[in-house]
């Protein structure tokens, strides 16, 4: 669907195909003789955008029912649809994409190389994303262990250090924020009767790491001085 002209939408599709977008449709489009691809306009919709989305949903459902081999991943419509792939679809996509060249453009090859988005633009995006995919809306909600796409993923030491640096001080989402009285009361009630610090590790974080103290008889101090690159200073403490 498009709110512009068919020609303009198709030009966007061709550009996405050229940029290497990985979907069954773009994989198909890349293989075609572009001069020979014909675009049909199925319906023109006047009125609110939601009607356009509804129309697309109806068309996709109808054509699928009729046996058309559509390449649409979702049932159509407006907004993020959280398409869930079956194991077979995933495997097929993996095979399609294996060894495919020219998809990611790194360094100077990237059209955005050396440029930065303005703070205003970044704030705008952050605002738009706020609360998106939270809780049950998150496609990975309730998935643990092998079920989770991040399962078995590990980061290099360098990547971990970079992430750590980026989230320290002003980069931390909680930097200079203080929980409300209400939240603090809740946290306090949850911990009532539990001795604090609750573990030797927590005691180490509070009394050694946070105060810059190192004790020879503390297991965690010793461990950290043995591997200074991967200290556990990021452990949360309240």
CB of 112 to Zn ion, least distance (A): 44
Q: Which is nearer to Zn ion, 123 or 222 (CB)?
A: 222
Q: Which is nearer to Zn ion, 63 or 218 (CB)?
A: 218
CA distances from 16 to 12, 41, 63 (A): 6, 20, 24
CB of 213 to Zn ion, least distance (A): 7
DSSP calls for 93-106: HHHHHTT--S----
CA distances from 224 to 171, 228, 233 (A): 24, 5, 9
Q: Which is nearer to Zn ion, 18 or 200 (CB)?
A: 200
Q: Which is nearer to Zn ion, 34 or 210 (CB)?
A: 210
Q: Which is nearer to Zn ion, 21 or 208 (CB)?
A: 208
Closest CA to 13 of 29, 37, 36: 29
Burial zone of 8 (CB within 10 Å; 0-12 exposed, 13-18 middle, 19+ buried): exposed
CB of 198 to Zn ion, least distance (A): 15
CB of 185 to Zn ion, least distance (A): 30
In the numeric block, which tokens belong to residue 42?
């199925």
User: In sequence order, which residues have a C-beta less than 8 Å from that of residue 204 and are 6 or more positions away?
Assistant: 218, 219, 220, 221
CB of 164 to Zn ion, least distance (A): 19
Binding site for Zn ion (CB under 5 A): 204, 208, 218, 220-221
CB 80 within 8 A of CB 74: no
């Amino acid at each position: 669907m498009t709110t512009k002209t068919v020609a303009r939408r198709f030009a966007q599709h061709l550009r996405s195909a050229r940029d290497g977008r990985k979907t069954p449709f773009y994989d198909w489009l890349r293989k075609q003789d572009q001069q020979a691809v014909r675009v049909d306009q199925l319906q023109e919709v006047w009125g609110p955008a939601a009607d356009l989305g509804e129309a697309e949903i109806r068309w996709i459902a109808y054509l699928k029912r009729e046996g058309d081999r559509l390449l649409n991943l979702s049932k159509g419509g407006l907004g993020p649809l959280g398409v869930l792939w079956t194991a077979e679809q995933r495997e097929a996509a993996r095979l399609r994409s294996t060894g495919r060249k020219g998809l990611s453009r790194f360094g100077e090859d990237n059209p955005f190389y050396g440029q930065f988005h303005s703070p205003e633009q970044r704030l705008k995006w952050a605002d738009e994303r706020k609360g998106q995919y939270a809780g049950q809306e998150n496609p990975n909600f309730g998935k643990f262990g092998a079920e989770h796409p991040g399962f078995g993923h590990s980061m290099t030491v360098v990547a971990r250090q970079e992430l750590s640096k980026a989230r320290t001080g002003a980069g931390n989402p909680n930097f200079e924020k203080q929980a409300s009285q209400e939240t603090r009361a809740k946290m306090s009630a949850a911990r009532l009767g539990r001795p604090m610090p609750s573990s030797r590790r927590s005691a180490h974080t509070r009394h050694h790491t946070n105060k810059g103290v190192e004790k020879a008889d503390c297991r965690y101090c010793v461990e950290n001085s043995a591997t200074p690159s991967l200290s556990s200073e990021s452990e949360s403490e309240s």
